[in-house]
Amino acid sequence: MEKKIMLTGDRPTGRLHIGHYFGSLKNRVKMQDEVDECYILVADVQALTDNFNNPEKVRKNVREVVIDYLSVGIDPEKVTIYIQSMIPEVAELTVFYSNLVTIARLERNPTVKTEIAQKKELFGESVTYGFLGYPVSQAADITAFDATIVPVGEDQQPLIEQCREIVRKFNSIYGEVLREPEAYLSETKRIKGLDGNEKMGKSLGNAIYLSDSEEEINKKVMSAVTDPSRIKKDDKGNPDICMVAYYHNLFSTKEECENVCAECKAGTRGCVACKKQLAKNIADTLKPMREKRAYYEAHPELVDEILIKGTEKARKKAKEVMAKVKKAMKLDYFDQ
């Protein structure tokens, strides 16, 4: 049986929020017990492709993201957590793969296209070579570990397709060395923001972070968008257009959700009480994560140790793959 090797990661550009939790973290916690090898990279090099002018932000968020991982239950005994920039083999592979992909193909990549359109302020009319080429670097991330399963959001699927193309091209020229990965889409779809926006994010100011305090959670839930036609307490409401009801479905028991819906529709439930109940349920769900975070924040040396160990282990694996690649590409000059 072929080994199941899972690899995924995040750009360290901010703390992780409940959208990340339902969209990817929860799934990773489950997957860590189901695969033979599991890697999670903190993609600092990729983060620099659109934050090259803000290295301090990237640096600061590397540890924040790792603490988020640990606080949701990603177990460093099962998962190798490492820093992308500390694996030079990945940068080397990126250079080799850059011959196997055309500029036109990168420009057509839907993920890259959308992102370039969103980053007009940074790039102006002309995008950098590094940003345009980040799918090549992501293909290196994946193949440097022989990864077979890459859990990603739907928006990232074209990047996996691009990686598969690079793998096929490499193998057709240099021999069957690389493995073609599969994208694994988690069942949960994207979680909407507190304002009803399709996307939850820092720049939109509509996110609840895993590290938010109870007070912050309360404040944010109080500002959530509800049925705008409900003015008086006994007005009949429509939970289908209320973000509070939407989040009750994620954080409250089935029975509570049914009550919310029925009482809202009947006009027997007040929005303030409804929000308070939700805020409490969110705070209760996130409490163990907050406690774990506090523990690691008080013991930064443990976080460093996990990263150093993970990076060492990752490097060893990437070196093995690199040896195979160099041999296939006739770059193994003194190894015979």
The answer to whether 162 and 101 have CB atoms below 8 angstroms apart is yes
Decide whether 48 or 221 has the Cβ nearer to ligand SF4: 221
d(CA 333, CA 114): 42
In the list 269, 293, 315, 317, the residue contacting ligand SF4 (rule: CB under 6 A) is 269
Q: Which of 86, 144, 271, 289 binds ligand SF4 (CB under 6 A)?
A: 271
To the nearest whole angstrom, how small is the minimum distance from the Cβ of residue 175 to ligand TRP? Answer: 24
CA distance 219 to 205: 12
Using CB under 6 A as the binding rule, whether residue 279 contacts ligand SF4 is answered as: no
CB distance 24 to 151 below 8 Å: yes
Report what 7 binds from ligand SF4, ligand TRP, none; CB cut-off 5-8 Å by kind: ligand TRP
Number of neighbours of residue 80 by Cβ within 10 angstroms: 22
If one counts every other C-beta atom within 10 angstroms of the C-beta of residue 66, the result is 25
Q: Give the number of other Cβ atoms within 10 Å of residue 127's Cβ.
A: 20
Q: Which is nearer to ligand SF4, 169 or 192 (CB)?
A: 192
> Least distance from C-beta 242 to ligand SF4, angstroms?
3
- Per-residue DSSP letter, 252: S
Give contact residues for ligand TRP (rule: CB under 6 A): 7-11, 41, 43, 46, 138, 141-142, 150, 152, 156
Distance CA 194, CA 205 (A): 9
User: Is residue 242 within the footprint of ligand SF4 (CB under 6 A)?
Assistant: yes
Q: Of the candidates 86, 132, 194, 260, which one interacts with ligand SF4 according to CB under 6 A?
A: 260
DSSP state, residue 22:
I
- Binding stretches for ligand SF4 (CB under 6 A): 226-227, 230, 237, 239, 242, 244-245, 260, 264, 269, 271, 274-275
